[in-house]
């Protein structure tokens, strides 16, 4: 069972919707009427956009926004890690051919990404 943070729990979302919020969603503010700001929680669920009205209470809107950021922290870190892993792989791929000739001169070879010294057969 998914437990929701206190402010998000008051929105009447299902456990599946709260799980969807862990991966995406955001709080937006609309100005209507006499310059009053209203908050909305927007996210996608089952291929459709869902909007939950948060009201004009700025403190409540900020609390939902902070709870949403905390809910999404793991997903954000995973996305960042995936990007950094791709970048590291690109750098390794570009550096490997330049390093390989120097290693070969010293009697070493690449075995995948590991540098090894081949065995010498004394037969």
Of the candidate ranges 64-78, 81-95, 99-113, the one whose mean pLDDT is the lowest? 99-113
Q: Is residue 81 part of a domain?
A: yes
Is 101 part of a structural domain of the chain? no
Q: Which of 77, 80, 65 is nearest to 25 (CA)?
A: 65
Confirm whether 111 is domain-assigned.
no
Domain that holds residue 48: 6-92
51 domain-assigned: yes
Q: How high is the mean pLDDT of the chain?
A: 91
Residue 13, in any domain of the structure: yes
Is residue 63 a part of any domain in this protein?
yes
**Pick from 32, 33, 27: which is nearest to 11 by CA?**
27
Range of weakest confidence among 31-40, 42-51, 75-84: 31-40
pTM for the full predicted model: 0.68
For residue 79, the tally of other CB atoms under 10 A from its CB is: 12
């Amino acid at each position: 069972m998914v437990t929701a943070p206190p402010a998000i729990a008051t929105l009447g979302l299902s456990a599946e919707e709260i799980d969807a919020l862990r991966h995406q969603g955001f709080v937006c503010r609309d100005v209507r009427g006499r310059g009053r700001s209203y908050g909305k929680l927007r996210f996608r669920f089952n291929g459709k956009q869902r909007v939950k009205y948060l009201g004009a209470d700025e403190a409540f809107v900020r609390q939902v926004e902070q709870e949403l950021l905390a809910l999404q922290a793991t997903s954000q870190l995973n996305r960042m890690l995936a990007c950094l892993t791709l970048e590291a792989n690109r750098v390794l791929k570009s550096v490997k051919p330049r390093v390989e000739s120097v290693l070969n001169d010293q009697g070493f070879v690449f075995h995948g990404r590991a540098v090894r010294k081949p065995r010498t057969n004394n037969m």
